[in-house]
A = this chain, B = another copy of it.
Amino acid sequence: MKPLDLSLYLVLDPDLCGGPANMISTARLAAKNGATVVQLRAPNWKKRQWLETASALKVALEPFAVPLIINDHVDIALAVDADGVHVGQDDLPAGVARRLIGPDKWLGLSISTAEEMREVPHDLVDYLGIGPVYPTGTKTDAAPATGLPAFAELVAASRRPVVAIGGIHAGNCLALMQAGAQGVAVVSAICGQGDPARATAVLLAEIRKGSPA
């Protein structure tokens, strides 16, 4: 089991990256330059495409010991022996996902509201993704943005480490760390950037300013 450092959590997007080959090169550049987790998220893909890309990502990330998390599709995570699964409110419940992946894989859960926080099975999940904190154009079915104060309240209510997501860039990630996040998840701040390596390094430097020493 690879250690889970949530500091800079890259969520790969097929459209922003420009297809599978670019997703893999983006993931490699990001991992090399400080991304600590990579999640594959492709809500419109068929499973054959999922399997091929997840397999290639696993190989690409191996040299960096960066865990690969699979969004939503537990069967793909099982098929490629990924490091974990991330589920949202419309996906398999955390309890079902945990039962299928077993105790030795990372499990993350997305929440957006205090009500969803009250329902979190803290004993079954390893971390929470909370957001969108800021408005985002990446996820078309995203909940309304929480804003920073509500995000901080949700973090305070969590008994698991929290990664912030939604509208995050180098200019606002320090504030999220100071609000209690263990890390930030980004999509467009790395995917499709002209220089993903540099974008990653800049983000990481900002995040480190807010990390517990």
Contact = CB atoms under 8 A, between A and B. Distances in A.
Interface string A106-119: 00000000000000
A42 to B, nearest CB: 13
**Dominant secondary structure at the A interface:** helix
Interface string A72-109: 11110011000000010111110010011000000000
A48 B92 contact: yes
Given A74-B75, A75-B100, A93 B51 contact: yes
A93 B49 CA distance: 11
Interface size class of A (residues with CB under 8 A): 20 to 34
A79 B78 CA distance: 13
A139 interface: no
Contacts of A79: 92, 96, 99-100
A47 interface: yes
Nearest to A73: B75
A93 B80 CA distance: 13
A24 B33 CA distance: 51
Given A47-B87, A47-B90, 15 more contacts: A47-B72, A47-B91, A47-B92, A48-B89, A48-B90, A48-B93, A49-B90, A73-B73, A73-B75, A74-B78, A75-B92, A75-B100, A78-B100, A79-B99, A79-B100
